[in-house]
Amino acid sequence: MKRQQLIIAAIVGGLLLAGISGVVFKQVATEKPIHRDTNRASIVVKKPQPAPKKAPKVVHHAGNYTKAQAIAKIDTLIKNGHIMGTLLITNNGPAGVVTRTYGYADVASAKLSSANEVYPLASLQKALTGAVVQCLINQGKLRMTTPLSKYFPQIPYAQNITVRDLLDHRSGIRMGEPAPTTVLPDEAAQIKFTVTHLTSTNNHAYAYSNANFTLLAGMIRRATGQSYLTNLKTFVLKPLGMRHTFAYNQIPVNTVDPEAYQLTSGDSRPVTISKALQSSELGCGSLYSSVGDYYKFINALLTGKLVGHAGFNELSAQQQLNYAAGIYYLGDGNIRIGGSDNSFNTYYMGTTSGKIGVVLFDNQGNFRGDNGIGYEIQAILAKSDLF
DSSP secondary structure of 226-256: S-HHHHHIIIIIHHHT--SEEETT---TTS-
Question: For residue 63, what are the contacts with CB-CB under 8 A and spacing of at least 6?
Answer: 383
pLDDT at 8: 42
Output the pLDDT for position 24.
Answer: 36
User: Which residue numbers in the chain have pLDDT < 70?
Assistant: 1-58
CB 122 within 8 Å of CB 371? no
- Fold of the domain spanning 67-143+227-382: Beta-lactamase (3.40.710)
What amino acid occupies position 112? L
β-partners of residue 323 are 328
Domain boundary assignment for the chain = 67-143+227-382
Give pLDDT, residue 56. 56
Instruction: Single out the residue of 253, 264, 281 nearest to residue 342, CA to CA.
Output: 281
Close Cβ partners of 290 (under 8 Å, ≥ 6 residues apart)? 86, 115, 116, 117, 118, 119, 244, 245, 361
- What digits encode the pLDDT tens for the residues 325-366? 999 999 999 999 999 999 999 999 999 999 999 999 999 999
Helical residues (DSSP H) of 91-182, grouped into ranges = 125-138, 163-167
Output the pLDDT for position 32.
Answer: 39
Closest alpha carbon to 329 in 129, 96, 127 = 127
